Structure 1
């Protein structure tokens, strides 16, 4: 076989496989590099042959980087129509589906119906004959129309024969006569019942090789349900009155119901209908979608009456916010009746005009006008809007007021500034009101992200923040899916940003992208961060417990307070210095005045060093009538821990006192039993290196021991002190700190930080050695030329108790490669690599020792991030096989969180 034929056959086989197993919205064809690797052919030859096959009309060429190719014959088979030669050059394979997708005709196919359509497509193309499906939803949501689109899609996909029919039957029509209903569905033989003079075929026979749609399926008799079960299970049935052999029929069944099927249908039947799709009510659709629906119905009436229709903006608003129990069906009927009344009025006064005014509206719609009077939609527009069936546009955008313009043309920067600058009480919307504007999926994803950080990081969100983010994301969604908006991806816009707000924004982006399959550029996170900061800043100030540090000395207390505030990035800590010359009464008065200035609604926390200051709290609490907790022997570590807890909006004074009491007792016991504190007895204070770790003091201690054993000679160690962060350490001794090392940068002012990754794999050791030699006045020529070899292995060897460090590291690198192949940018994040290896190696050992960590967010993470969950499960599969273990999902969830934090 010639090379060109091999390439053509390979692309043909690839395309056939993709069509039957993948979604063309995410698959874009095969590259010449992939073909060359698979067939062991030279890349240049493959490239030349593929372009030639495209010119000959054999292949579709997808203009991407890199260029991709797809079989023309397979695409024509999928679409069931021939392609012209000018259709063989496209920007995306999804373009073909966009132009032929029957679901595209449904209003809301990219909004409220998006999930339902995706599920329906999966059911219809499932080999070999599709999956039986139940459509659930209240009356009037369009279940019959949706079922028809499923049928058209199944025919287009080849699941159903091109000659197959869509047979529809409403089970309620014969619900009172079980035999007649059975006969209508399955047919009957002669003499089956009185009046059955001849044999008759049923709807099941007519639907052979097609779709049988059973509306109000809950009205089926149990006899009919049992026969339907037989049809689904074995493809056979018996006619009413027949005792002969079974009839055969290959039919795909779509059912529709408004009821809870568990209560009205046989469980044996329900188990054999594997797909259930819920269709949203009119009230669950956002404002832009409802506007499209109203627009469509008014255009239909305009076409029927062969005349344009004008409507006041108040009437239009009433129709948009109208949520009848009969949903879309009832809305259609009401609009028809309203137009009929307006047509009659125009006919009687001989004006020939059809003008819809409030008096033509039913009371229920007029009520919506009153309820929505404070919603600034169409508030400044011309009194009448014209709907004409000859006009292809949804609405005359130029007639809308400024706020509606922003919704349609996506100029929302000023809108966001308005949100942030408006009084919260005036702008607060109830959830039901907000969902008139905002897609429910957007609202739920924002809620998930905020709740996640509330549970994991102590972040306390507000309803106002939920509302503001939801509104912004709705506008972002509209803009990203607009044909008129060119998405620009700017680089490095988030490079210098850190903090909780950026983490929340990134989590929201992940949820948004997975929900809507839209890529959000980095620069679009900046308004989200700004909204979070502006919305919660005042809330934070008023809800935090003030932390006041009081200590003897000219600058001890203010220095500690300044350090805590700078490290946490917020002002939650206040310092009052007490020089030796200051009397206690003056210090008491200064503390009292400060307590009057700060918000003490939730109480106050005092950290003091010694002496008379310890007794201040009780006297101040009684005089000012506020709750005060006082803790003595203040240290930098204690102040930092207290500051972190005080910064949490939701914490109470009682919880704070309980936590800090156990924390300070732990520190005291540590310093007494381990004697790891700073050596203050030496005549000359030694330079200090602080070791930090996000996993806690215990891990920091292991890293400290490891550094001592692997990086420094004994004579050097004797001239230094290496202190794990969290041990007793007075702030005024910070001047002795020459560097911080670890997995987390504590951002101590003017003190260099060296990451563990740099120490192990970069020039961190040389940097540290230079700092030490300069401080100790050692000649730089004496610097060691060595660098640590296999540092990560050494750390793991000293830390792991059960498994071999080198073997687990080798296995972990394979798992890591699978992960970063999916997220290549993570491979550039050295800190992620170290965290991943350390965490996952200890994970394997924990599982072997049956010391499993639970994760409270497991179910939510699985639901929200199935792609990342499946990726990690696949990546660690070979480790499970090697160690004969099963890594529980709770441990998988922690790795998923690690990825999410770095997206």
Structure 2
């Protein structure tokens, strides 16, 4: 970099984030200050600063000593064009009162603000402007470019430009439609694009507005247009030609809509689209790949992405030039999308390594992920590349958080903040007593997996595994796969290679395994998964021989668990999914999208033409249910509530447990398939999870009375109790009904006013809590709820006395489980509260059967909590003694022996033996319940 450029960039860096007040206070830098920063002679710096003033890049402020400030900084800060080479301080102060009075002199054109507007995007921007201004209503556009090049962003900028140019009105719609969601489904596509009329088909209870109507007066962005079937293209070009359309079910009414189409594709349009359709899209705009962009643009893009990460971290970044070099040349495919992923990886590594610093995050070569670092190290062009990059950045560049202007800001998914997660995990692992080195290694593995998978979901489905692991690891894993298949007599797919290679690679880089399991747990794994353990021992020998390392026993245990988990993905029984919808191909379309994106799963589609009779529907559904049933039950996703009512009849006919969710969507099917494929959840858990994820959608649907339904929780105690009660009620509601029912928590203070307001908006099905509001709805007191009868009362109130659609509440009941887990997780140190609750609920059912009694909830909670603490005290070696003053009657002795006998299997399962005195205490609780 030339001396004059270094001085100018230093001056720019010093005032990059200055406010008006800061600029008025500092008024620029003197030549001496810049000379000290760059370690140059003051006279040389003064000479170059005056050259910059003459070239109208820097303003000279007439103070003593003379100070200098970049023109760019002044124009940005004061929002006006500056034409003089020098100025008095008073001039600057005068402008401070009217910072926006000449705003129009500075370009706020959304297209011109894009990186590359005067370079690689110049032609694309010129074409876009021409298309927007073309009379009378603009030209439809087709954006061509590889994955990750920024087609969606460019389409959004065209929309912003149309508003900026007053071609579109402020607030005009910008609707995005992904054609892949409706691949090969013309009927569903027709409804989505053009809407339907009330009553046009079964379940069409209301008129539906299509996307063409929603986009009236604005832009409809059709992404992945090459996935639009020929029928869909024909529908669109008819509308483009005529400007008119009908909703599905309409015959006479002709509707009109003025829509500008922007389409995007990664494919060759002449082979992927109909020629008749292409003729209607006259403007084809090429969006360049990252490789086609100049080095300066790639540096600017990298700086911008780093600035966005700095905004998330809320700290400045200090970025070494080698990091720029590695990042710019690491995105060999995937374009800006991959560059963004790599920037996130580097920033996450750097953030972890700088957790103890509040002021700045330094990014150096050590923060590069291993694959990027190796590419950088192995390149023979590094010196040459760094020299070229030094024209645009310093050896170390300070990057401040970038906050985009609201008019050009693109919404991003900010629900997940990786940096918050890193901080939380570090705190948690610190409490566990792990070393800083071990903590970093674990979290770096998580970071790598998260960012890569996040990128994969949005761009590439076939990311090269070699970017994750070393080549030799991949080779040995392929050999191990053959060993496992032979020993376990089964076949594994590529998931085996993926999971196992990542695990081995992580172990080799970590150097040693952190033992987080106790002896009892490792013994249980050996005993439970004998075959997998034997295979893991073979793996141990082969890995030791191949890499000349020592594999500790704990790593063999982890390999055992991993083999079992992968085997479970292949072989274990999974919940089946049946997607049922009216129409000729809607259900099939939904299933095709899900299986294409997320792979094979036990899922079938049932398309039901409107003419099919109910008996035929039941026969068809029963056959499909049995086809995908693997023994874990079936989740039915249906398009309307009438199908949900068939659940109990189908259970009777097939003998299969079924849970049903109405109002199926593409997103819902994808969510269910993902959870079946990758989370080891049972039917109830998947049903609850999917239902919870889509509850916001259901909340918007009114009840039959015209109001949404609500269950009111009345509480006088603290927020903790209120929250727990809300959780319990939510679980009861989810088990009892498919209908959306809101849980509302109110204070017993001013209860009458609160209830009146709720009744105006909601249909209250029941109230629960400390005070009876005395309204026309059942009330369940806390005492009755905890004792057990309240749960049944709430169920009956929800279902109006009928059996619930989902087969009723499971046994043991919700109250006992929730309250036990809540109590135990606060006080148990060694035992898992959820695991011990599950075990003791099972035991409690056995002993009730043996004693011939039914315990109420209060006694069940008392027994479970006491017994859990008894097991905990075995570990602590601190058992309690049964008082000698207590009389041991024959009845108590009999109950004691039953207690002792029924506990034996659970003691063996836990590897813990409760003392006689502890068991006597437990037996005495049962004996009290046996007394008349």
Query: Of the two, which has the highest radius of gyration?
Result: 1
TM value normalised by structure 2: 0.31
